[in-house]
């Protein structure tokens, strides 16, 4: 099968949910994907923040082979050898106490929402005054299931499926006054992505995060930090909330946790966990021996290869180089992000689309989010030389986009 025949078959057989790029990848190695014609692509997106260790990483290959020969699935009715070791690693690096494993990000987020409701119910049974509502942020993205879309800001993702979960109010991003006005004893959880991903790579401010923590402490509501995109090392710390020195009550993980094997996790404090008893929540696949074994290999490799340090140094270099480009090109409005979660905002959606396509033509994979933002979520094993390649291509594509139109999108002064 070639690309054209696959496209034709998919158009008749699949639900029409994705606008795919016309590329057919067959293999991958390191930070490169290889297409059907044997052409290599520098991958600065890593499967939307998933392939943290890149492609064909020996530690992942070894874990996959080993565990597939031992045991893939038994159900959560029985114990297996990897659950506790993985949960121990996750609790140690997060500062939280307990883990619930899922198959995806949105399931982890649903578990977080349910936990906030259950926690409020437990507090009410103790005579505390706490309701069932949630506060979420403008530009937020928490997934596609009903609770997740209810806490996701973009109308387009919610409107066709109304009514979604009621009781969610959106707070203006980083607006502490708005947060304080909208918070009350009616709220059982505040939903925050410490660095918003789909929303355009926007870090929450220290002041806003601290205010959310303080408000939750005042009533017993839970502070829910969605780290599905920004967590597990992507920002150079295990969790983005660690940049703020704020511990949430709950955090969610998914994307990179098992390097492409579907998996997610919700982590919480012992206090929040008290509201859950057997049978209240569960999953068939979540936390099976196969996914857990791969997740252990991911965490151990990040630790053994000192990748958090590499993410910090290569990420800072990438950020600096993007900022230098911004200084040269008026069409770049902003450079944002931490570690290897970076965004370059351009002054128009058309331009961002044009640049993303031009980079793809040069075999560099980036993605456009929030219309005007080029998003970089490369594998954690990215090196400075890859950044140099990307920056050179970006500079050239921006200049080319303005070719024939003076002054070529470049700064003529200053």
Ligand X SMILES: Cc1ncc(COP(=O)(O)O)c(C=O)c1O
Under rule CB under 6 A, residue 321 binds ligand X = no
Under rule CB under 6 A, residue 193 binds ligand X = yes
Compute how many other C-beta atoms are within 10 angstroms of the C-beta atom of residue 188. 28
Q: Which residue is nearest to ligand X (CB)?
A: 105
DSSP 8-state assignment for residue 30: B
Distance CA 229, CA 226 (A): 8
Q: In sequence order, which residues have a C-beta less than 8 Å from that of residue 118 and are 6 or more positions away?
A: 275, 276, 280
Under rule CB under 6 A, residue 28 binds ligand X = no
Under rule CB under 6 A, residue 345 binds ligand X = no
β-strand pairing of 187-192 with 222-226: parallel
**Helix, strand, coil abundance in the chain, percent, nearest 5:** 40, 20, 40
Under rule CB under 6 A, residue 226 binds ligand X = yes
Please identify, using beta-carbon distances, which residue of 142 and 368 lies nearer to ligand X: 142
Looking at 141, 157, 183, 239, which residue binds ligand X (CB under 6 A)? 141
Per-residue contact flags (x/-) with ligand X for residues 61 to 100, judged by CB under 6 A: ----------------------------------------
Compute how many other C-beta atoms are within 10 angstroms of the C-beta atom of residue 143. 24
Please identify, using beta-carbon distances, which residue of 143 and 379 lies nearer to ligand X: 143
Distance CA 37, CA 27 (A): 11
Q: 414: buried, middle or exposed (CB in 10 Å: 19+, 13-18, 0-12)?
A: exposed
Looking at 30, 105, 337, 379, which residue binds ligand X (CB under 6 A)? 105
Considering the complex, what minimum distance in angstroms separates the CB of residue 311 from ligand X? Answer: 18
Q: 361: buried, middle or exposed (CB in 10 Å: 19+, 13-18, 0-12)?
A: exposed
Looking at 229, 235, 259, 288, which residue binds ligand X (CB under 6 A)? 229
Nearest to 362 by CA among 51, 49, 55, 40: 40
Per-residue contact flags (x/-) with ligand X for residues 255 to 294, judged by CB under 6 A: ----------------------------------------
Under rule CB under 6 A, residue 109 binds ligand X = yes
Considering the complex, what minimum distance in angstroms separates the CB of residue 152 from ligand X? Answer: 8
Considering the complex, what minimum distance in angstroms separates the CB of residue 222 from ligand X? Answer: 16
Cis peptide before 163 (omega within 30 of 0): yes
Please identify, using beta-carbon distances, which residue of 197 and 343 lies nearer to ligand X: 197
Looking at 197, 203, 248, 256, which residue binds ligand X (CB under 6 A)? 197
Please identify, using beta-carbon distances, which residue of 182 and 255 lies nearer to ligand X: 255
Distance CA 72, CA 65 (A): 11
Number of residues that bind ligand X (CB under 6 A): 14
Task: Please give the residue ranges that form the binding site for ligand X (CB under 6 A).
Answer: 104-106, 109, 141-143, 193, 197-198, 226, 228-229, 254
């Amino acid at each position: 099968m070639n690309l054209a025949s696959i496209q034709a078959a998919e158009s008749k057989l699949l639900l029409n949910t994705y606008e795919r790029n016309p590329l057919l990848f067959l293999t991958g190695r390191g930070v490169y994907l290889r297409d059907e014609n044997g052409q290599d692509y520098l991958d600065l997106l890593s499967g939307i923040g998933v392939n943290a260790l890149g492609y064909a990483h020996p530690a992942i290959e070894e874990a996959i082979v080993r565990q597939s020969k031992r045991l893939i699935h038994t159900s959560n009715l029985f114990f297996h050898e990897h659950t506790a070791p993985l949960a121990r690693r996750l609790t140690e690096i997060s500062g939280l106490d307990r883990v619930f494993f899922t198959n995806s990000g949105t399931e982890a987020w649903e578990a977080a929402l349910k936990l906030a409701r259950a926690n409020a119910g437990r507090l009410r049974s103790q005579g505390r005054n706490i309701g069932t509502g949630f506060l979420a942020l403008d530009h937020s993205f928490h997934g596609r299931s009903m609770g997740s879309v209810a806490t996701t800001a973009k109308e387009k993702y919610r409107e066709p499926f109304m009514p979604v979960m009621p009781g969610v109010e959106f707070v203006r991003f980083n607006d502490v006054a708005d947060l304080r006005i909208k918070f009350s004893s009616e709220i059982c959880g505040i939903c925050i992505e410490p660095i918003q991903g789909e929303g355009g790579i926007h870090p929450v401010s220290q002041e806003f995060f601290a205010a959310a923590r303080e408000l939750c402490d005042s009533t017993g509501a839970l502070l829910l930090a969605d780290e599905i995109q920004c967590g597990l090392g992507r920002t150079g710390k295990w969790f983005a909330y660690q940049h703020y020195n704020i511990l949430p009550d709950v955090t969610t993980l998914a994307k990179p946790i098992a390097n492409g094997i579907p998996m997610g996790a919700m982590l919480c404090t012992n206090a929040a966990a008290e509201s859950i008893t057997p049978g209240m929540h569960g999953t068939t696949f979540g936390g099976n021996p196969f996914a857990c074994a791969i997740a252990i290999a991911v965490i151990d490799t990040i630790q053994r290869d000192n990748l958090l340090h590499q993410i910090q140094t290569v990420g800072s270099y990438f950020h600096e180089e993007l900022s230098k480009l911004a200084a040269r090109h008026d069409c770049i409005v902003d450079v944002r992000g931490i570690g290897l979660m970076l965004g370059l905002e351009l002054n128009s959606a058309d331009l961002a689309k044009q640049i993303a396509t031009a980079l793809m033509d040069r075999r560099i994979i980036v993605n456009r989010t929030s219309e005007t933002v080029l998003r970089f979520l490369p594998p954690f094993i990215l090196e400075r030389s890859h950044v140099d390649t990307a920056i050179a291509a970006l500079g050239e594509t921006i200049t080319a986009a303005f070719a024939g139109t003076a002054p070529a999108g470049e700064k003529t002064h200053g």
